[in-house]
Structure 1
Amino acid sequence: MLPSFLQDLFKDQSYNPDHFFLIAGPCVVENEELVMEVAHKVSSICKRLEVPYVFKASYRKANRTSANSFTGIGDDNGLSLIKKVGEAFNLPTTSDIHAHEEAAMAAPFIDILQIPAFLCRQTDLLVAAAETGKIVNVKKGQFLSGPSMKFAADKIKKAGNEKVMLTERGNTFGYTDLVVDYRNITWMKEIGVPVIMDCTHSLQQPNQTSGVTGGNPQLIGTVASAAIATGADGLFIETHPDPSCALSDGANMLRLDLLEGLLEKLVKLRKAVV
């Protein structure tokens, strides 16, 4: 059963309460056509499968390998388009924030403030996000264990906000790879908050000498299935109509036309393990 703050978030959607929820969308706001296409397709699939859905896109990508990498179309434009998507399809929305002053700026446009993994220990950022009253989703740092994320959750709760979620996204393995320790899902659920599996960023291959992060998107289904089997409450999947042309994280996004078949399988798996 979803906690009350997520039940409120999904109050305008018809969904099966035994299903996982989905956070999905393109890595970054590239243009209006892209975000509208993805939101339309994913919301239609989720409505049919009775999966509660949050639209995701970053209004700005602050963490990039190269100084030449695309970062966004401007904060105001990006946030405005995310809000437009939410209103057009009656969906809750989420995006990353990167500094404490961004929390109050982004909060009027989105429903969930997402804290990037590299910033999950930044106390001023967590507190500022908490003080907006919005749901705060903190991604577990690639350098942290699941149990250690209780301290991030505690910072938000001590700031007066009980609406906390945690996201597993793998741990650094060597210099150019990540691995997922599924014990972290169980351990973070013991903290008493919803736990999400980031099925795309956990398959990144960072620190490439080309200056562009690599990935293994062919394993998204494997990661998602294992997460459902180990009790994840939600899944995070970045998706794009043509990842090869995406302006950010194309190497690890799921091609949009593959999402429906994957979700159908995952809904069946969820039914078997609940």
Structure 2
Amino acid sequence: MKKYIITLFIVLAFLTNPSSSKAEVQWDGAQVVKGQTGKMTFTKDVKVYKKNTNGTYSSMTVKRNNYFRVYDIEKYKGKTFYWMSSGYRVQATDLVVFKKVPLNIRASFYDNPGYINISRQGDEHSYGTHYTTGVVYHNISIGENLFYSDYNETGDSIDHYIDGSDIRIVETTKRDEGFYMLTADAQMLYGPTNGAMEAGMYSKGTAFSSIGLEINGYLMVGFEFENNGYLNLGSGFYFPVTLLEPVKK
């Protein structure tokens, strides 16, 4: 009887906390969690700050050599900022030692990872660029960083490298393919994130074709449908999925 009671407790523990059955992901001597971009230590005791919702600032002192997870990175105007938990932001200086978690390890936490460029440094791609095989970019490979190839004007393949710290990973979901219509006037974007480059305003009722790819709350659309014909807009454009509804006819 005791044996059956112990077994029952084990089953109940698993049902109430199924995530406990998943193995922890270890990297560089520490556990990595979903959404983590890197890890950070400091070469001396440093005071860090966060802005509160009421406009005031809070601070805390972080100790030398203590390990902190980084969950987001900002890059703009030649500066880099690391976001810790609880809203604390730290500018990259000689006092900060940052290590990025390899992109393939970060991607392992997602069922269908999507890769979005978050650098505003004006490098090869603009903020919000979405890397997806078969639409714009080809032969995407995910390792410590992101590699892909595309073609130049003469048809030659060109390889590219994107640093893993320039990439935010989000979940990609599949919706029905077909036409979707705007339910309100909306700004089309070149990337599936707020702040991506704008591609023009479109009116309520305009319909677009879509392969049904939803990334970060945005639906990828391709061709605009108008007057019983198609206006070729290429592909890789995005609207918030909340502003679209399927066209029944």
Q: If the length of structure 2 is used for normalisation, what is the TM-score? A: 0.27
Q: Greater strand percent: which structure?
A: 2
Q: Which has the higher helix share?
A: 1
